[in-house]
Chains A and B, each alone.
Chain A
């Protein structure tokens, strides 16, 4: 993975010094909170319900074991012994003291990490495919381009005070695993007919109050022009994006208002001025960065390991795990392992300090010392030998990280919600937990098969509810917490925005609502049809009719009872 050189080190070090002084000035009241808030947000520090939360950037989801050990250290020394992986492949700690935040950043800098632009109205951490570089369906490895974008966007002087936050996702595979359609900019790394590498550029996707899928504004942008073209997009947005209403300030609203074609025309006009200028990437620069993402020293292995095959047929639990948590690798004899952070009883994405140390150790012993974070809030060991899968499974199981539920009902994407976040209208973690408990049976989950259940505690949609096959959104009605359910959302190559099925439910009713939706699916599905395909074929009506056919018993009127 990428390693800092003297320039990266220097810039991050100077950031720590700058931020430390900003904190000092805030504590001495030289800065008032209104001035400081925007500065600390650009450094990932949010004020939540109970304490400050620090969001640390994990560039395009890639981690080295020494960085993961640093997270464990931070969790123990500065937090309450755990951290939380987010839907943007970052990690956040929920119990941070303002006074200590500069020290945390100084410690992070020693392992080439920071919290730069993890919040605020600026260009955020670029996200990518968690299987980049190892996926069997990869066209071009997106990681070098993601790193080039990281450097270009870090402290870009013109785009630090945009109308609203700005998120870029990049994918280089047949299957889009980076949810590029719901980002401000989505980039698909592709090859044209001549075999040259470039990007298909999507703009204006997003979730929040107005979910919209991105529009293609350029079918093929040669890779050399990535920076100048992004600069043109950002310059148009910075000048013309709305600033009068926070809910209408994302680039998607601008693109929708003037139309993708007109937006593209403005970008092209802006680009003409800077195209072929000094920002144009060189082969040498691409090579410098790509060097960090060359393949590790893979052993030459048989495609099939006999002992592995034997264990697979003998142990059903192992077979279940293989079926859901192990993904195809482009190198024979290797596999990518997904460590589930969705064990029933644990908030989705949460991980303890001991588990962090353990996964760092696992990465060192089985996967070239590297880990990845998925936007579904799980971890990946990308390069595990097939012959060692059994050992990895047993060890992961002993640490609560081998729940065989990847892509299943309990692999829930969930934001921190009302338990932590001051923006939330409702709690989300207790809903996820109640659903996970109700449907804890692995056999049942495997029977239901692929399904995406996403939960957000408010309209900001950090839990990606719009693109959940089943989406749950926490809403506030007269001070009480209620949950609105949508159906038919999807991420990936055939992305779609879910449709709301009807009036909202109390927290207590939610497991039964899910049960009824699943009953309709089981009744309606044809052969191996996935949940989303059944919804697309039969429409929302049969689900809606059944869910609302008879009242669902609600012992309490609000969502408060679930965690009691």
Chain B
């Protein structure tokens, strides 16, 4: 069973991510039983049958909008955001808006090209689970969560910027 970083520890991942293969369509693809994270398009197309499931996840592609799940978060134990390439940064704003604007409180998982050197930023915008790319050492990747101990600005993880959290002393101006 593959591993997952969740809430800063490596655990077994018992969810499966469903990706449409060439020629498959959201309307007709068969969603296996069990813990499956389905594409947003599949959720939208097969909602009637999927919403009866007790365990369901959904994932957003980087060009999809979190607003598509507005008022529609309840069915999901997991929401995932896909990073087709780690340099595609749309997922950061998607995650932030899922948390801050839509008020999603459950597991928010980064999937796709998920690598150690981006985990710190991902964690800051609201991700709490990381499906690190399979060819990388997930225990090594864990170190990426602690690269920095302080941050200047707000994001999902810090509700207040540094200047509101601390008393910043003023240094002498000239040597």
Contact = CB atoms under 8 A, between A and B. Distances in A.
Interface of A: 1, 3-7, 10-11, 14-15, 18, 22, 30, 35, 38-39, 64, 66, 121, 151-163, 227, 235, 238-239, 243, 273, 277-279, 282, 284-285, 288, 291-292, 294, 296, 368-369
Given A5-B171, A238-B93, A243-B88, A35 B115 contact: yes
A158 B149 CA distance: 17
Interface residues of B, number: 45
A238 B161 contact: no
Given A22-B117, A296-B174, A273 B162 contact: no
A160 B151 CA distance: 14
Given A7-B166, A18-B147, A157 B117 contact: no
When A and B form their complex, which 9 residue pairs have the shortest distance between CB atoms, in order from nearest? A161-B89, A157-B124, A157-B121, A3-B171, A285-B163, A151-B152, A158-B92, A278-B160, A18-B147
A22 B120 CA distance: 14
A270 B148 CA distance: 28
Interface string B70-87: 000000000000000011
B88 A278 contact: no
Interface string B12-49: 00000000000000000000000000000000000000
Interface in B51-104: 65, 86-90, 92-94, 96, 100-101
A309 B144 CA distance: 63
A14 B148 contact: yes
A14 B149 contact: yes
B175 A227 contact: no
B152 A152 contact: yes
B173 A155 contact: no
B153 interface: yes
Main secondary structure of the interface of B (DSSP, over half): loop
B162 A151 contact: yes
Contact of B152 (A11, A14, A158, A273): A11
A155 B151 contact: yes
Contacts of B117: 22, 35, 39
Nearest to A370: B174
B128 interface: no
B28 to A, nearest CB: 28
A3 B175 CA distance: 10
B105 interface: no
Contact of A282 (B148, B149, B163, B174): B163
Given A157-B121, A160-B121, A278 B159 contact: yes
A321 to B, nearest CB: 28
A152 B153 contact: yes
B53 to A, nearest CB: 30
